[in-house]
Structure 1
Amino acid sequence: MSVQQETAPSGAATLRRSILGTELGPCTVRVQHGTDGLRPATGTPDVYLHGAAGSWTTFLPLLSRAPSHDRVLIDLPGWGDSTSGCRPERFSIEAMARAVTEVLDSLGYQRWNLVGHSMGGFLALHVAATSPERTASVATISATTFGVAGAARRPLRSLFRFPAFVGMLTVMRAMAALGPAGSALIRAVGTTPVMRPLLAPFFADPAAISPQVIRGLGLDARPASFLAAARAAARYDFSQWRGVSCPVLALRGDRDVFTPASDLIRLAAVIPHIQPATVPVCGHFANIERPEYVQALLDDLRRP
């Protein structure tokens, strides 16, 4: 394990950066220590899991204040700083969730709160189902569950209901076929004005999103990992979520193109202790568009 210190771009606090081994390859994780002073063995951190088109940096708007307890920000194997030595051919929801618990075990945590965006919400629910005694709470932000999994299985049949996802899946397939050149092309486009209209469907007010965020999403694109995650979602058995026993907050933006309201209804039919909520004037990235609103809901979820 290698350890480094770095400062969060938000300037909120120093992050302790480590590289830990998992069954899917080396995983880069950043820990922001809380002011409560509790050791990992006794503290309950907030663990952030990003989506298939992101990295730990998509949670930066939620890190503006000093935390009372530890925050753990994971670049999942295949994304962000965790691409070297990754094994996407081994991807499954189960394997990615095991990678998360491997990281948390290596850090010494016994229990945790999970915050997952998009695919990260999917993973958080699986971790909660398979480690119920260790999961204190789950908050999903636009979790890509039933609808996107069905679209991944049958993209043509789902074109009219999920055009943004099917379009993104098609682009990622084309870019993955180009190998490293495909990723380089996406990164190059991400530095041009073309990227903003391409990402417009994912935000309620695209013009309000900073150029740094737009460029960051382009830099975070990992076509092969995106495709592997889509295949994993398509194969998943959602009945496993009946094992979730902790409180669950399930958020979606009212203009979310990936997470329809029907997904929250179906989640409520499977998960017993769930609080669905719709974030107004918001697309797929509530953690970026409405961070204060999201943080208030997270605080309510964890309040005794």
Structure 2
Amino acid sequence: MDGTDTAPVRQTVATRAYAPWPVTDDAGRWSLTVTTVATAVGRVVVHHRAGPDPVLLLHGVAGSWTTWTPFLAATDGLGARGLVLVDLPGWGSSPAPGTPFTVDDGARVLVAVLDALGLPSVDVVGHSMGAFVGLHLAVVAPRRVRSLGLVSGTTTATARASRHPWRALRTLPAFTLLRAGLLVTGSAAHGLLRGIARTGLLPLVAAPVFAHVRRLDRSVLAAFVDEFRPALFTAAARAAAGYDVDRWRSVRCPVAAVLGRDDVFARTSDLDDLRRLLPGVRSAVLDDCGHFAHVERPVAVAAFLTATAD
């Protein structure tokens, strides 16, 4: 994940079994220690393991450190490498921040975590919103990021949709309608989602997010419900709307981006945009895959990210 070959490549990756592993909160399986780190934004919970060439895994919206466990299963926990999995403020076990979370907050939190763990630099892999935050970290703290892996990254299309929601009804209808619905329902949205889960209709609601929602292990949808935070989703969309993606042109580390062809929150056109901003980016499209590529196609994601390191 820290290769030096920067030739732009786009490919379609063959995938294996769909969503072959459950989501689990068994930190002991990967010898992870749990630490709470105080940051300027608030306390954050970090699952980590010492080792060479550490990898920082960043979850997205409706995620936490546990969302990465199918990917860890696919990579045998990345072998002997160090691991850092952060629950960003308000997500997972980390308390909600006192003010709306911003991309700058995300970068400050990550720098504080790396400082607390004594890590000068890491390979960063981010999913969805985590990819956005990872890109920003590479902009503002470039020496801390050896390489970037963007998994189902919500990047340029999401930024445009957040700025111009009516236009986005054509380009990103699922994202736009979800955001509008959350603005209407507000804090009641989480309770509504839990109620839908109890009635057995959750697969119908979650179907746009996953390519094959009924083939998912029950743990995946349970984590999706548990980690969905409406106010934080809205804050993340607001932060994306105000962000100048041209700042990503300053990123100099190797970047690899992979997403699903059936993703309703990230588009394959995002990869074209990223190549214009980051000419050396490697990219791949996973067939038969939705927005949670590291859960739906963890073997293919791992194979692609590993290949870019060769």
For Structure 1 versus Structure 2, the TM-score category normalised by the shorter chain is 0.7 to 0.9
Aligned length: 284
Q: Which amino acid aligns with 1:244?
A: V
Q: Which amino acid aligns with 2:54?
A: P
Q: Secondary structure at the match of 1:256?
A: coil
Match of 1:12 in 2: 29
Distance 1:45 1:165 in 2: 33
Conservation of the 8 A alpha-carbon contact between 1:88 and 1:228: no
Match of 1:135 in 2: 145
Equivalent of residue 80 in structure 2, options 48, 65, 68: 68
Alpha-carbon deviations, 1:28-55, whole Å to 9, x = none? 1101344xxxxxxxx4311011112211
Match of 1:115 in 2: 125
Match of 1:234 in 2: 241
Q: Equivalent pairs: percent with the same residue?
A: 39
Match of 2:229 in 1: 222
Distance 2:195 2:99 in 1: 23
Match of 2:41 in 1: 24
Conservation of the 8 A alpha-carbon contact between 1:78 and 1:87: no
Alignment map for 1:288-303 (pairs within 5 Å): 288-303=295-310
Write out the 4+ residue segments of structure 1 that deviate beyond 4 Å after TM superposition.
none
Q: Secondary structure at the match of 2:253?
A: coil
Conservation of the 8 A alpha-carbon contact between 2:57 and 2:125: yes
More relative contact order in 1 or in 2 (CA 8 Å, sep 6+)?
2
Distance 1:107 1:195 in 2: 39
Equivalent of residue 281 in structure 1, options 270, 281, 288: 288
Matched, 1:48 2:57: yes
Q: Which amino acid aligns with 1:199?
A: A
Distance 1:253 1:278 in 2: 6
1:190 and 1:54, CA in 2 relative to 1: closer, same or farther beyond 3 A?
Answer: farther
Gaps of 5+ in 2: 1-23
1:17 and 1:187, CA in 2 relative to 1: closer, same or farther beyond 3 A?
Answer: farther
Distance 1:195 1:269 in 2: 38
CA RMSD of aligned residues (A): 1.8
Distance 2:99 2:190 in 1: 15
**Post-superposition shift, 1:87?**
2.4
